[in-house]
């Protein structure tokens, strides 16, 4: 639908570690997408999420969600957070310590719906922990509870502020699948702040790069980050983000630590010991790129 989008055109003066900075964001976000906000700390990503949630007011501009105006400085419109039907998931999960897993999820529901709670518990593998309190859960389990609680509200917009930043690499990889599943099940428009290029590439259909308060790049991750000028002497370490079959070959996408994406052609026998999430080295042999798994 033509109006099934979020239109953002705002400015907000911020005080950062490097001094004053004007956050000036103008973009349109299609409904149902999972969009990554990528950039250095202090560039304005988290502030943008808080503005969309209604927790921070812009200095000027407008925000329109579908046919509803959430904010318009000229018309003095500023819809309260509880009227925006937005779920914001913080880095520390912010679970209620005195409530069980089940109660944490129920608390977010506009109306009590035990069937929906049971579905969320089942979808996120939490059924056996439903009567536990957060202090009896692992970091990964807490993340799943926070994600289930965020979806329990059935939001129009889901905002994730570096949801996996406190977890180790192995747990991050496993829970990226949970976020992908949550998005697939709900279809909710999602904005996710991330500093992890592999995470962005695995999860996001589009990435918005923000530097010093302004959008510098915007588009599909492979278009934004790809470097097609691969030399014959390339030797790059990275992580497998995607494996796609195309006819009789496979295209393996590797994300490197310097914010680049490398695509390598491979055959089925090349992938016998490789899977998504593996750390690998891409190097050349007789000018042909080879992928080798790192121990």
Q: What is the pLDDT of residues 247-279, one digit of tens each?
A: 778 889 888 866 678 888 888 888 888 889 888
| Residue 236 confidence (pLDDT) | 78
Tell me the percentage of the chain whose pLDDT exceeds 70.
91
Q: What is the pLDDT of residues 25-80, one digit of tens each?
A: 999 999 899 999 998 888 999 999 999 999 999 999 999 998 899 999 999 999 99
Query: Which tokens belong to 124?
Result: 């996120």
Q: Would you say 249 and 238 are in contact if contact means Cβ atoms under 8 Å apart?
A: no
Burial label for 276, CB within 10 Å (0-12, 13-18, 19+), is: middle
Domains and CATH numbers, the chain: 5-224 (3.40.50.300), 227-293 (2.40.50.100)
| Residue 24 confidence (pLDDT) | 97
Give 287's pLDDT tier (boundaries 50, 70, 90).
Answer: low
Higher pLDDT, 234 or 33: 33
| Mean pLDDT along residues 173-201 | 84
| Region of poorest pLDDT, from 47-56, 96-105, 132-141, 179-188 | 179-188
The pTM of this model reads 0.75
């Amino acid at each position: 639908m033509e109006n099934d989008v979020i239109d953002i055109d705002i400015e907000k003066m911020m005080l950062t570690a490097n001094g004053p900075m004007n956050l000036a964001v103008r973009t349109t976000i299609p409904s149902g997408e999972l969009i990554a906000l990528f950039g250095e700390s202090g560039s304005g990503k988290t502030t943008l999420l808080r503005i969309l949630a209604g927790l921070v007011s812009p200095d000027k501009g407008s925000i329109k969600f579908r046919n509803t105006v959430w904010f318009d400085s000229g018309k003095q419109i500023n819809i309260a957070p509880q009227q925006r039907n937005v779920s914001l998931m913080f880095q520390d999960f912010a679970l209620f310590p005195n409530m069980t897993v089940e109660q944490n999820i129920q608390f977010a529901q506009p109306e009590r719906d035990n069937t929906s709670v049971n579905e969320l518990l089942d979808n996120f593998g939490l059924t056996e922990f439903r009567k536990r309190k957060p202090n009896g859960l692992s970091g990964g389990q807490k993340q799943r509870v926070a994600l289930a609680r965020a979806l329990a509200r059935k939001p129009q917009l889901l905002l994730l502020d570096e949801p996996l930043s406190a977890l180790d690499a192995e747990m991050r990889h496993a829970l990226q699948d949970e976020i992908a599943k949550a998005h697939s099940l709900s279809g909710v428009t999602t904005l996710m702040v991330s500093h992890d290029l592999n995470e962005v590439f695995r999860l996001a259909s589009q990435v918005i790069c923000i530097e010093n308060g302004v959008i510098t790049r915007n588009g599909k991750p492979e278009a934004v980050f790809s470097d097609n000028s691969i030399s014959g002497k390339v030797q790059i370490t990275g992580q497998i983000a995607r494996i796609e079959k195309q006819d009789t070959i496979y295209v393996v996408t590797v994300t490197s630590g310097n914010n680049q994406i490398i695509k390598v052609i491979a055959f089925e026998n090349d992938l016998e010991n490789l899977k998504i999430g593996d750390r690998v080295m891409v190097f050349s042999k007789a000018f042909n790129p080879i992928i080798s798994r790192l121990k």
